């Protein structure tokens, strides 16, 4: 699977971007040249040799704050996505197989979660569980999970009604077998696409919650938080939002590329695509197989 | 029950739906298939032939009657019991369209050994057991690594037949196995089925066309509107059909022989069937 | 017989029995995208009341041939050689308007999947009536009357009921009848039936084939019957063309082709029936009765 993803240009690009972001998240805080929280009288300064990206409204070094904030930002977004994945996908698969009662309950629960106001619920739960980035992301993850639930359920339903699953049943296959052997491969690409999108949402949510004092507490920096405060001083430093935006965009883009790559290599279309490329490389000049529109 | 029967269906009733929408799909069907025998099950769309097959496989619950498979009474079996029975691989099923009955993302080799893997046979051993089957269905070994989409329709259907045989079943039910194939492939699959008879496996060959099973079946059972209206040896049924529907069926089958039944004959039979 | 006289609209040009209503002369069809010839020359002639059949697998070029005769070749296919004449008129250079005038009222067709040619949200009767109104300029009430007659003409048991029904309420055989009714609504001289019975049960297939034979006899319809099954074609046709990979490998009167097949492919098609079909039993029976014995 990994090798096939890396054989696609989009897959290699995604791997490059995402590993860069991961390195940033791991080593970023150690690399910060300046104290990210230390303010100075040099407020809203432009880029210089000392402050590569200038300073913010309290005179803090923006470059240091970006590096320092990368860990919390990325960890937060990944947590949201993973929680949503686990909480959404597993019931999504099971809702097809565990019988009417589970199906009905899980569907209604998903509807309820969708209708809950996001931030208010997050405030309420952190009040109960204590404040911290993990608690906050847990809540957000649960709230986003209906997306995964729906996506995985839809994909599972389509496979569950297929004839090859019936053939397996006639051979005495268990639900476990069918999911592992036939369902999972078809659900994965859909889930991967949803995962990439959720990562993007994660960054925004981490910063929105910072405003409310939930999760990452000010003055600790996050990319989203930096972006939000930069927007307030757009008047003085119109270029300031570029740096955090580029990082967020790069991460989301990397995730989307990865999702595309996963979708392209899984399933028949993906394989056919790879075969075609090989054929083209070998000079056989096979016709291009169209892949469905991007998500 | 006779010792040599692999399948015995007695007075089977099947209903679909509930309450006022309840409709009878099978009405008192009795059928026996002996070891190594090929039985053609003929009927039009909605006549109940597929329902009968699905009931035998435990995919549709019967409302009355008995089904005995290989000496084992399965009426009233629960999911768990069905699974145990199915894992033994006594009865297998081949669908009409192999493109839909083979997982497009699973290689031919993995599709073929799936019934064995489900039974708990090790992968390596399963692959060894599959090889001799390839010869029987005339498939090249190099196809094993391919995906269903990379095979022709005829090759795919032969894969489906091979998979049904991999558990050495006593009975294979084939649901319109050659209807989706072109002439050359149809002949090839029919030949394979004919050869299978010598190996002792019993076949139930479902079709809407008596003509397509005539060359392979020892006996023919004709279904009409949920009932088994006629059974007999293939020769008896074709040359001396008793029921009006069977007569119409034979008169309707396109043959190279001109004047097998005239239009007037068919019109008379249709009218008789309507009033019956 | 009243329907027959009704079917003949006053403006329809009476065709002489020996007039050639459809002629293909060495027609070649070319695939412009893949840069290769798909049909390598096919010729036959249809006169009123005559039935010609084409037998071949999918991909043999038989459907493309039909589409060429109807002027509805898919996008990148073109007639690259030979000529097609419909009632004496060369089709090369026909304008779209001229084609519209020709299709339905001179040459018409039915295909394999009847449901896809009808609108699921409009009553089938209204759809036939619309064809009549467009093609003959009949008034609404007149068109309805004719549509009901046509539904009766294709042996639907309760025309008034079927008229009011939607596609999903009708079986495959009934839908194909409705489609045939629509195809003959404007009184064409040629009807093309391309795998028109392939998706149907054997008994229903026989009903549709009987209906086609009936129409051919009653109104002198010239039929082009296309099928993958040699027996279907043999049952109906005066002349048979056996196609394989775009090539006509055998052509001749039906009896001649069946009794004295020259090409190996035709022999295989016949063997399929003789070894695996009903023929084996029926022949034996006939021989015992001292009845038909086959030459060759």
Say yes or no: B222 contacts chain C, CB-CB below 8 A: no
Q: Above 70 in pLDDT, residue A271? A: no
CA distance A131 to A217: 9
Task: Report the neighbours of B using a cutoff of 3 or more CB pairs below 8 angstroms.
Answer: A, C
Write down the pLDDT at residue A48.
Answer: 75
What SS3 state is found at B174? strand
Strand pairing report for C22-31 and B227-233: unpaired
Find chain B residues with C-beta within 8 A of A162's C-beta: 100, 103
Closest residue in C to B44 (Cα) is: C201
* DSSP tag of B20: G
Mean pLDDT of A129-144: 80
The per-residue pLDDT for range B70-79, each reduced to its tens digit, is: 988 998 888 8
Contact C142, C228 (CB under 8 A): no
Which chain B residues contact residue C60 at CB under 8 A? none
Give the pLDDT confidence score for residue C287 in this predicted structure.
63
Q: How many Å is the maximal CA-CA distance in chain A?
A: 76
Identity of the residue in B183, B211, B254 whose CB atom sits nearest the CB atom of C235:
B254
Give the whole-angstrom CA distance, residue B241 versus residue B231: 10
Residue of A nearest to B100 (CA): A163
Whether residues B89 and A171 touch (CB distance < 8 A) is answered with yes
Contact B258 C235 (CB under 8 A): yes
Which of residues 172 through 211 in chain B touch A, CB cutoff 8 A? none
Least trusted range by pLDDT, from A63-67, A270-274, B98-102, B230-234: A270-274
Percentage of chain B with pLDDT > 70? Answer: 97
> Residue A291 pLDDT > 80, yes or no?
no
Number of domains in chain A: 1
**Closest in B84, B93, B105 to A267, CB measured:** B105
The pLDDT score that the predictor gives to residue A290 is 36
Closest Cα to residue C57, out of C226, C276, C260, C292? C226
The whole-number average pLDDT for the span A84-104 is 87
pLDDT of res. C289:
56
Mean pLDDT for B206-223 is: 91
Average pLDDT over residues B134-149: 89
Q: What is the pLDDT of residue C7?
A: 46
Residue pLDDT, tens place only, B159-172: 999 999 999 999 99
Provide, as residue numbers in chain C, all residues whose Cβ is less than 8 Å from the Cβ of B187: 268, 271-272, 275-276
Beta strands in chain B (DSSP E): 5-16, 23-34, 38-42, 64-69, 72-73, 91-94, 171-175, 202-207, 219-224, 227-233
Which subunits have 3 or more CB–CB pairs within 8 Å of chain C?
Answer: B
- Is the per-residue pLDDT at C6 higher than 50? no
- Which domain, by its residues, includes A133? 2-294
For residue C182, pLDDT over 60 is answered with yes
- CA distance, residue B245 to nearest chain A CA (Å): 31
CA-based nearest residue to C251, from C241, C261, C259, C243: C241
Residue A277 has pLDDT above 60, yes or no: no
C-alpha distance from C194 to closest chain B C-alpha (Å): 16
Residue A113: which residues within 8 A CB-CB, separation 6 or more? A142, A143, A145, A146
CA distance A174 to B261: 51
Chain B partners within 8 Å of A174 (Cβ): 83, 118
> Using CA atoms, how far apart are residues A78 and A75, in angstroms rounded to an integer?
5
- Measured between beta carbons, the chain B residues lying within 8 angstroms of C284 are 239
How far apart CA C147 and CA C165 sit, in angstroms, is: 13
* Cβ <8 Å between B209 and C276: no
Average pLDDT, chain A: 77
For the residues C145-171, what does the mean pLDDT come to? 91
Q: Which two tokens stand for residue C144?
A: 């309805």
Looking at residue B40, its pLDDT comes to 95
Q: Do A271 and B147 touch (CB under 8 A)?
A: yes
Query: Quick one: pLDDT band at residue C47, thresholds 50, 70, 90?
Result: very high
Confidence (pLDDT) at B156 = 92
pLDDT of residue B253: 87
Nearest to A164 among B102, B149, B167 (CB): B102
> What is the pLDDT at residue B209?
86
State pLDDT tens for residues B7-26: 999 999 999 888 777 888 99
List phi, psi (to 5°) of B31. Answer: -150, 140
Smallest CA–CA separation between B120 and chain A, in Å? 11
Say whether C274 and B256 touch across the interface (CB within 8 A): yes
Residue B49 Cα distances to A160, B39, B176, B180, angstroms: 24, 12, 11, 18
CB contact under 8 A, A171 and B167: yes
Burial-class residue B114 by CB neighbours within 10 Å (0-12, 13-18, 19+): buried
Contacts across the B-C interface (CB distance below 8 Å) = 116
Q: Is B190 on the interface with C (CB under 8 A)?
A: yes
CB contact under 8 A, B86 and A168: no
Please answer yes or no on whether A172 and B87 come within 8 Å at the CB atom. Answer: yes
User: In the sheet where C107-110 sits, what is the strand order?
Assistant: C107-110, C190-194, C222-227, C51-55, C239-244, C247-253
Locus of tokens 């002349």: C239
The DSSP code for B190 is H
Please indicate if any CB of chain A lies within 8 Å of the CB of B100: yes
- Are C152 and C159 in contact, with CB atoms under 8 Å apart? yes
At residue A269, the pLDDT reads 46
In chain B, the residue whose alpha carbon lies closest to the alpha carbon of C171 is B45
Q: Return the pLDDT at A102.
A: 87
Query: A286: pLDDT confidence band, cut at 50, 70 and 90?
Result: very low
User: Is the confidence at residue B234, as pLDDT, over 90?
Assistant: yes
pLDDT higher than threshold 70 for residue B126: yes
Any idea which fold B5-240 has?
A: Rossmann fold (3.40.50)
C223 forms beta bridges with C51, C191
- Residue A30's CB is within 10 A of a number of other CB atoms, namely 9
Q: For residue A78, what is the domain's CATH number? A: 1.10.3720.10
Q: What is the ipTM of this complex?
A: 0.86
Report residue B181's pLDDT band, with 50, 70 and 90 as the boundaries.
confident
* B198 close to C (CB below 8 A): no
Q: Say if C230 is an interface residue toward chain B (CB within 8 Å).
A: yes
Contacts of B89 in chain A (CB under 8 A): 171-172
For residues B14 and B29, what is the distance between their CA atoms, to the nearest angstrom? Answer: 9
Provide the β-strand partners of residue B175.
Answer: B206
Chain A positions touching B111 (Cβ under 8 A) are 164
Predicted pLDDT of residue C293: 42
The model's pLDDT over A184-242, given as tens digits with 9 standing for 90+, comes to: 888 887 787 788 777 767 776 776 776 666 776 667 777 877 777 777 777 777 777 78
Q: Closest residue of B to A170, CA-based? A: B86
Cα A121 to the center of its chain, rounded Å: 21
- pLDDT, tens digit, for every residue of C85-123? 999 889 988 888 899 888 888 999 998 888 888 999 999
Contact status of C238 with chain B (Cβ, < 8 Å): no
Residue B34, classed as helix, strand or coil, is strand
- Of the given ranges (A165-179, B62-76, C275-289), which has the lowest mean pLDDT? C275-289
Q: What per-residue confidence (pLDDT) applies to A288? A: 36
Q: Which two tokens stand for residue A240?
A: 């300031």
Q: Determine, for residues B83 and A271 on separate chains, whether the beta-carbon distance falls below 8 Å.
A: no
| Sequence-distant (≥ 6) Cβ neighbours of residue A181 within 8 angstroms | A168, A173, B103, B106, B114
* Residue A217: strand pairing partners: none
Mean pLDDT value across residues A32-53: 73
Say what the pLDDT of residue C17 is.
56
3 state DSSP class of C250 = strand
C-beta atoms of B147 and A177 within 8 A: no
Average pLDDT, chain C: 86
Q: C28 has which bridge partners?
A: C40, C81
Query: CB distance from C279 to chain B under 8 Å?
Result: yes
Residue with tokens 């006169």: C47
Q: Is B185 an 8 Å CB contact of chain C?
A: no
Q: How confident is the model at residue A280 (pLDDT cuts 50, 70, 90)?
A: very low
Lowest mean pLDDT among A1-5, B241-245, C20-24, C278-282: A1-5
Work out the minimum CA distance from C248 to partner chain B, whole angstroms. 17
What's residue A218's pLDDT? 66
∠C37-C41-C45 over CA atoms, to 5°? 145
Cα dist from A180 to A63, A173, A187, whole Å: 46, 11, 11
Contacts of B167 in chain A (CB under 8 A): 171
Inter-chain CB proximity B118 and A268 less than 8 Å: no
| Proportion of chain A above pLDDT 90, given as a percent | 2
Tokens standing for residue B249: 């069926």
Choose between B123 and A27: higher pLDDT.
B123
Asked if B57 has any chain A CB less than 8 Å from its own CB, the reply is: yes
- Tell if the CB–CB gap between C202 and B44 is shorter than 8 Å: yes
The two beta strands, C107-110 and B171-175, are unpaired
Show the domains of chain C with their CATH numbers: 17-106+189-296 (3.40.50.300), 117-187 (no CATH)
Contact A119, A208 (CB under 8 A): yes
> Is the pLDDT reported for residue C10 higher than 50?
no
In the structure, what pLDDT confidence band is assigned to residue C191 with cuts at 50, 70 and 90? Answer: very high
Q: How do the domains of chain B map onto residue ranges?
A: 5-240, 241-276
Contacts of B249 in chain C (CB under 8 A): 202-203
Which of A112, A93, A62, A78 has the alpha carbon at shortest distance from A225? Answer: A62
pLDDT above 90: percentage of residues in chain B: 50
pLDDT at A149 over 50: yes
- Chain B: give the shortest CA distance to residue A177, in Å: 8
Residue numbers of B between 12 and 41 with CB closer than 8 Å to C: none
In this predicted structure, what is the pLDDT of residue A266?
A: 66
Distance from CA of A236 to the nearest CA of B (A): 57
Starting from the edge strand earliest in sequence, which strands make up the sheet with B171-175, in order?
B91-94, B171-175, B202-207, B38-42, B219-224, B227-233
Please count the residue pairs, one from chain A and one from chain B, whose beta carbons lie less than 8 angstroms apart. Answer: 73
Helices vs. strands in chain C: H and E counts, helices first: 12, 10
- State mean pLDDT over C34-43: 92
Residues in chain B closer than 8 A to A268 (CB atoms): 104-105, 147, 149
From the CA of B190, how many Å to the nearest CA of chain C? Answer: 8
Residue C222 pLDDT greater than 90, yes or no: yes
**One-character DSSP codes across A84-152:** HHHHHHHHHHHHHHS-HHHHHHHHHHHHHHHHS-HHHHHHHHHHHH-S-HHHHHHHHHHHHHHHHHHHH
Rounded to whole angstroms, the Cα distance separating B135 from B180 reads 23
């Amino acid at each position: 699977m990994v090798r096939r993803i890396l054989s696609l240009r989009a897959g290699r690009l995604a791997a490059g971007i995402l590993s860069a972001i991961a390195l940033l998240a791991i080593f970023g805080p150690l690399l910060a040249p300046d104290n990210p929280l230390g303010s100075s009288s040099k407020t809203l300064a432009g880029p210089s040799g000392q402050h590569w990206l200038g300073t913010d409204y309290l005179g803090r070094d923006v470059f240091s704050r970006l590096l320092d904030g990368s860990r919390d930002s990325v960890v937060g977004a990944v947590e949201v996505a993973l929680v949503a994945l686990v909480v959404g996908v597993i019931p999504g698969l099971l809702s097809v197989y565990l019988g009417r009662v589970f199906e009905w309950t899980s569907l209604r629960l998903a509807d309820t979660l969708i209708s809950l106001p996001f931030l208010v619920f997050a405030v309420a739960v952190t009040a109960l569980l204590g404040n911290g980035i993990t608690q906050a992301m847990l809540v957000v993850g649960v709230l986003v999970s209906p997306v995964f639930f729906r996506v995985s359920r839809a994909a599972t339903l389509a496979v569950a009604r297929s004839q090859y699953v019936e053939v397996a049943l006639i051979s005495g296959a268990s639900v476990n077998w069918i999911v592992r052997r036939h369902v999972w491969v078809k659900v994965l690409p859909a889930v991967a696409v949803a995962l990439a999108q959720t990562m993007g949402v994660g960054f925004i949510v981490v910063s929105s919650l910072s405003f409310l004092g939930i999760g990452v507490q000010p003055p600790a920096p996050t990319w989203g938080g930096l972006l939000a405060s930069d927007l307030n001083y757009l008047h003085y430093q119109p270029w300031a939002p570029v740096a955090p935006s580029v990082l967020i965009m790069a991460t989301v883009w990397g995730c989307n590329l990865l999702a595309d790559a996963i979708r392209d290599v899984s399933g028949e279309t993906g394989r056919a695509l790879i075969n075609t490329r090989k054929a083209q490389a070998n000079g056989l000049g096979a016709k291009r197989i169209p892949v469905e529109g991007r998500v | 029950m006779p010792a040599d029967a692999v399948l015995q269906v007695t007075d089977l009733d099947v209903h679909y739906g509930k309450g006022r929408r309840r409709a009878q799909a099978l009405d008192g069907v009795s059928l026996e298939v002996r070891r190594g025998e090929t039985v053609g099950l003929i009927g039009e769309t909605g006549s109940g032939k597929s329902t009968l097959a699905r009931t035998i496989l435990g995919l549709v619950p019967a409302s009355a009657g008995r089904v005995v498979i290989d000496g084992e009474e399965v009426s009233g079996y629960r999911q768990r019991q069905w699974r145990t029975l199915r894992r033994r691989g006594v009865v297998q099923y081949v669908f009409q369209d192999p493109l839909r009955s083979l997982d497009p993302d699973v290689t031919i080799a993995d599709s073929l050994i799936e019934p064995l893997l489900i039974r708990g046979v090790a992968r390596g051993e399963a692959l060894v057991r599959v090889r001799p089957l390839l010869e029987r269905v005339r498939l090249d070994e190099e196809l094993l690594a391919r995906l269903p989409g990379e095979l022709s329709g005829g090759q795919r259907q032969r894969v489906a037949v091979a998979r049904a045989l991999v558990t050495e079943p006593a009975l294979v039910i084939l649901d319109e196995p050659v209807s989706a194939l072109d002439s050359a492939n149809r002949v090839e699959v029919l030949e394979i089925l004919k050869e299978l008879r010598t190996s002792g496996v019993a076949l139930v060959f479902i079709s809407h066309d008596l003509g397509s099973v005539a060359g392979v079946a020892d006996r023919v059972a004709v279904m009409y509107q949920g009932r088994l209206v006629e059974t007999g040896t293939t020769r008896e049924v074709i040359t001396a059909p008793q029921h009006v529907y069977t007569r119409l069926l034979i008169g309707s089958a396109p043959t190279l022989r001109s004047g097998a039944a005239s239009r007037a004959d068919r019109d008379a039979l249709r009218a008789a069937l309507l009033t019956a | 017989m009243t329907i027959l006289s009704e079917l003949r609209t006053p403006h329809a040009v009476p065709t002489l029995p020996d007039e050639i209503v459809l002629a293909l002369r060495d027609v070649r069809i070319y695939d412009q995208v893949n840069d290769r010839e798909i049909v390598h020359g096919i010729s036959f002639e249809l006169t009123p009341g005559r039935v010609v059949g084409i037998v071949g697998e999918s991909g043999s070029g038989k459907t493309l041939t039909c589409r060429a005769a109807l002027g509805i070749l898919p996008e990148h296919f073109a007639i690259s050689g030979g000529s097609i004449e419909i009632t004496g008129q060369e089709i090369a250079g026909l304008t779209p308007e001229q084609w519209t005038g020709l299709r339905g009222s001179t040459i018409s067709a039915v295909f394999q999947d009847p449901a896809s040619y009808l609108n699921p949200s409009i009553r089938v009767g209204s759809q036939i009536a619309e064809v009549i109104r467009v093609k003959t300029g009949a008034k609404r009430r007149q068109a309805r009357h004719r549509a009901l007659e046509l539904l009766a003409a294709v042996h639907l048991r309760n025309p008034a009921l079927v008229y009011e029904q939607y596609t999903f309420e009708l079986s495959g055989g009934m839908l194909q009848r409705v489609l045939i009714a629509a195809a003959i609504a404007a009184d064409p001289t040629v009807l093309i039936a391309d795998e028109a019975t392939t998706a149907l049960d054997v008994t229903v297939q026989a009903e549709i084939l009987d209906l086609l034979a009936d129409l051919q006899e009653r109104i002198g319809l010239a039929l082009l019957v296309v099928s993958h099954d040699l027996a279907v074609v043999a049952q109906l046709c005066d002349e048979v063309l056996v196609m394989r990979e775009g090539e006509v490998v055998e052509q001749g009167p039906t009896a001649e082709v069946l009794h004295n097949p020259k090409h190996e492919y035709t022999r295989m098609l016949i063997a399929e029936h003789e070894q695996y079909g009903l023929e084996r039993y029926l022949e034996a029976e006939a021989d015992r009765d001292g009845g038909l014995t086959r030459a060759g």
